[in-house]
Structure 1
């Protein structure tokens, strides 16, 4: 792929082993990986209906939170400034991960985690109370229940050239299959009517499978490279507004179709292209599952809601840590994380 100038070294290669050991202890104590794994970096007010589905024990379509998140925090701030606080809402726990200077009080933690309080919520300790890594913030919301819904994640169509077929002939190598995004909401009802539905977590329960179409070239020149090379990644057709923008952004900045194919594959598995996707056990957030999500502030102050800012951070991260987007893709294939 095209090299994009000199790459600045990340300021943080990973969270320290000591910090991850502490986080792992909190996760184990709170039981975050059992049942549906109800943990979120995003908790915001919305309206609509919700229906109940059975919970599952898995919490991601990829690897464990700790193994992939240790490297995901590489851009943004110094290791010594990373901290966490446990929050429970109606008995279910989550970890809010952020910068130590930004999380000194209960109010700071709720703001960092985008936790929206309702007027009748009970919060312990008080909003002005000081916090540290042993603090557990408890929120009780009367009359609310946790409900889950599954929504499809569209698969992409990838076209790959091959010399094994005559010129112009096409063959479906892999049939496409939609993925599944599970969303857990804290729902308040008045009888059968939904009064409010607050998204508590949203994550990739099952990654989509791309539809791969082989396109014949009738020559040997198109398939001389190895299976892991850029040439064999193929051309991915964008699905939806976010992917279309990401595709155009890459090509207009000197990247290739292979780069978009690699980016699409990673993001499909990490977040299903959802800007508000969350990691149920660590608080990793957004398209690229940055951990904490505030790392993406280096790409823009609107990182929580702007998919363009999140994607730019993703490109920056791949270039700085792996030398290229396809480098991150090859690492992901080998490790099921990046």
Structure 2
């Protein structure tokens, strides 16, 4: 959904995203803070029996220049949208929300799914009014930023081409797994993880598909360019998406196009959270809450997210392949 560009460090172990055109996001983390009142145990508390709390979290610097850029991007995208900067353990984030629903610090925390421990305090106080110039400060003692990397599987794509004799095959590109980098604020008691709030998960390195050219040429055929080809799904989510498309009148080329876009945008992670652009989910929707039009479970359900992606491609570009063509040209869609 966003343009890609150079990333700048936000944390010691966190690189920024390839996507930079649209700034803003939902945030998540926990915090102990410098100045205000203690938050009750019933407010934003994590469930100790389920310490891993994956949330929609994005980040941006809190400089005046970045706030101006954020406002410009929001104005061009949705004039009803506003944002507030939150500093978590010294790192800056932006919580994106609707103007009527985000007027106090409490509103910002709720909108951003920010989780606080019982002993945490927040500055300014929860009932303080906020503007786009407000910086909410959150710190947490004994919490560390941890970054992990997981592989994104590459796909095998078979493309027919009349540049090869019929029946002959040739490997055009060898496959290579991608890398999904996930950053979390982790609190431990000894060696035991008490809570882990994921606030960034992005495609550090996109997978490279293994492309096999399949010859179709005969003595009487003329030369033609290769099609997008047929992609073999990898994993449960891709298998479902493939079947969904074919069952609804779409083609193998549509799935190949969809797979290419989503593999580069999110690595097929439903909770992918772009650190700088404010994009979320499989399709990196901006903001993620737009996907509520496809279902209330948009934050976690890959089926809901994929259906939204298909509708978005159809409405904005006239189809998935057309969206793919735009992505290949501009590195965003």
User: Residue 328 of structure 1 aligns to a residue in which SS?
Assistant: helix
- 2:26 corresponds, among 41, 64, 87, to 41
Q: Which moved more, 1:96-105 or 1:317-326?
A: 96-105
Note the 1:64-213 alignment, pairs <5 A.
79-213=78-212
Unpaired runs of 5+ residues, structure 2, are: 18-23, 30-45, 53-68
What are the Cα deviations for residues 139-183 of structure 1, in whole angstroms up to 9, with x where unaligned? Answer: 121110111111111111111112233333322111110111111
CA contact (8 A) 1:162 1:222 kept: no
What's the counterpart of residue 293 of structure 2?
Answer: 298
CA-to-partner distance for each residue in 1:8-30, whole Å, 9 max, x for gaps?
Answer: xxxxxx99xxxxxxxxxxxx9x9
TM-score by length of 1: 0.76
Q: Which one has a larger percent helix, Structure 1 or Structure 2?
A: 1
1:206-245 paired onto structure 2 within 5 Å? 206-219=205-218, 226=225, 232-245=227-240
Q: Distance in 1 between matches of 2:11 and 2:219?
A: 49
Query: Please, what is the CA RMSD of the aligned residues?
Result: 3.1
CA deviation after TM superposition for structure 1 residue 97, in Å? 1.6
8 Å CA contact retained: 2:200, 2:275: yes
Secondary structure in 1 aligned to 2:295? coil
1:264 aligns with 2:259: yes
Q: What is the TM-score normalised by the length of structure 2?
A: 0.77
Q: Which residue of the partner structure matches residue 288 of structure 1? A: 283
Q: Distance in 2 between matches of 1:332 and 1:97?
A: 25
Q: Number of matched residues?
A: 285
Contact 2:158 2:214 in 1 (8 A): yes
Shift of 1:134: 1.1
Q: Does 1:307 align with 2:306?
A: no
Deviations 1:94-139 (A, max 9, x none): 1112222222222222222222222222211222322221111111
> What SS is found at the alignment partner of 2:198?
strand
